[in-house]
Amino acid sequence: MAERMKRPLYYGMVGGGPGAFIGDVHRRAIALEPNTELVAGVFSRDHQSSLETGRDLLMDESRIYRDYEEMAAKESARDDGIDFVSIVTPNVSHFEIAETFLKAGIHVVCDKPLTTELDDAEELGRLVRDTGLLFGVTYTYTGYPVVKKARDLVASGALGSIRFVNAEYPQEWLATSAENEEGNRQASWRTDPSQSGKSNCVGDIGTHVENMVAYVTGLEIEKLSARLDSFVAGRKLDDNATIMVNYQGGATGVYWTSQVAIGTDNALRIRVFGDKGSIEFSQENPNYLTFATLDGPVQTLSRGRDDLGERGGSLVRIPAGHPEGYFEAFANIYKTFTGALRKRLNGEHLTDTDLDFPSVDDGIQGVRFVTRVLESAGKQNAWVDF
């Protein structure tokens, strides 16, 4: 253990081979932290392709495995085996891969959504509790420093009693049948039920909305009513969703997610209204948070300039005016996870701040959200219990 603590945390990756988007994002984000090293992987179902990726990453070819089962077995048997695995494959394979590594005693970070079936997500939760291993889910946008400030403002009572939440996440990238374009792998797998699961739009970006609202406000959904649309002809899964929400305690909300909203890029936005004040955060302008009170001015809080509190301030990387963005937010998720993992391996007690990364329970909540949305839409937009 003493020798282990002197070296970087070793990690492996499943997925993220040629043409993959999110795998490269994970690697670049992890690389912003100096305490990790990629040493093992299965980057593709095609072993030759996987080897080529490993060579490009200057990795030892003996640790580029033919499948994730072999990787989990051999890495768990090594004295210098991986400390955690990062899973960046299409949605339908998340459960089997995560289950395999947990059973091998290896900590896990998994891209969202956690699984495509609620039973599978809950089974992963049981495994995490039984093994005591750490499990992170990469809901990226909670990694922004000003989002930590937004959460603190709500928790402090600065907004008063929450009345209404408006959250949206519009994109335009699937406004046409992009899945039929040659070489567009992102569109083809995300719109394919055999790889994406039962939902495209809600599973892909609607889960970010649910997670962001839950993280910032602490509100728990009581009931929801959802309408799903598939606007592009021939598309098998949803590309637009409108969801009304009732929260426990009486607050209400409306979520809108769309991948056919022409003129938008990646416009995640959350607005929270209480009886004393409000906050607004826009992912495309992530260095700023708008905060207003009933009897005071509308304020714009700036990352790097203004006081974001102890937690938010700890994640600021560069001075004001030098924009931080997506990679830094992603890196902050991994920074927190790897920090907690190093303390766990060293036998130290983990605090709530140490564990301030999206957990397996957050992943389960996201899958429950998708499940209930599909249930409501299948019942002609009926209100369903959460």
CATH of the domain at 115: 3.40.50.720
Are 270 and 353 contained in the same domain? no
- pTM, to two decimals: 0.96
Q: How far is CA 233 from its chain centroid?
A: 29
Tell me which amino acid residue 66 is: R
Which range marks the domain in which residue 44 is found? Answer: 2-141+333-359
Are 172 and 33 contained in the same domain? no
User: Does 323 fall in a domain?
Assistant: no
Are 198 and 234 contained in the same domain? yes
User: Does 328 fall in a domain?
Assistant: no
Are 122 and 171 contained in the same domain? no
Are 343 and 295 contained in the same domain? no
Are 124 and 202 contained in the same domain? no
Whether the CB-CB separation of 137 and 326 falls below 8 Å is answered with no
pLDDT in tens, 244-282: 999 999 999 999 999 999 999 999 999 999 999 999 999
Dist CA 349 CA 307 (whole Å): 28
Dist CA 259 CA 353 (whole Å): 34
Whether the CB-CB separation of 308 and 146 falls below 8 Å is answered with yes
Specify the pLDDT at position 2.
63
Specify the pLDDT at position 262.
98
Are 202 and 62 contained in the same domain? no
User: Does 218 fall in a domain?
Assistant: yes
Show Cβ contacts of residue 180 under 8 Å, excluding neighbours closer than 6 positions.
none
Confidence class of residue 6 from pLDDT cuts 50, 70 and 90? Answer: confident
Whether the CB-CB separation of 205 and 113 falls below 8 Å is answered with no
Task: Tell whether the model's pLDDT for residue 3 goes beyond 90.
Answer: no
Dist CA 116 CA 315 (whole Å): 32
Are 149 and 129 contained in the same domain? no
CATH of residue 376's domain is: 3.30.360.10
DSSP secondary structure letter of residue 46:
S
User: Does 327 fall in a domain?
Assistant: no
Give the residue, 2 or 354, on which the prediction is more confident: 354
User: Does 185 fall in a domain?
Assistant: yes
Are 122 and 176 contained in the same domain? no
Mean pLDDT, residues 358-376 taken together: 98
Are 282 and 355 contained in the same domain? no
pLDDT in tens, 123-160: 999 999 999 999 999 999 999 999 999 999 999 999 99
User: Does 164 fall in a domain?
Assistant: yes
Please count the structural domains in the chain.
2
Are 298 and 377 contained in the same domain? yes
Show Cβ contacts of residue 82 under 8 Å, excluding neighbours closer than 6 positions.
10, 11, 12, 39, 40, 75, 106
pLDDT in tens, 160-179: 999 999 999 999 999 999 99
User: Does 226 fall in a domain?
Assistant: yes
Are 201 and 300 contained in the same domain? yes
The phi, psi pair for 69, rounded to 5°, reads: -65, -45
User: Does 78 fall in a domain?
Assistant: yes
Mean pLDDT, residues 74-91 taken together: 97
pLDDT in tens, 333-366: 999 999 999 999 999 999 999 999 999 999 999 9
Q: How far is CA 17 from its chain centroid?
A: 20
Distances (CA, A) of 382 to 177, 256, 339, 373, 385: 29, 17, 44, 10, 10
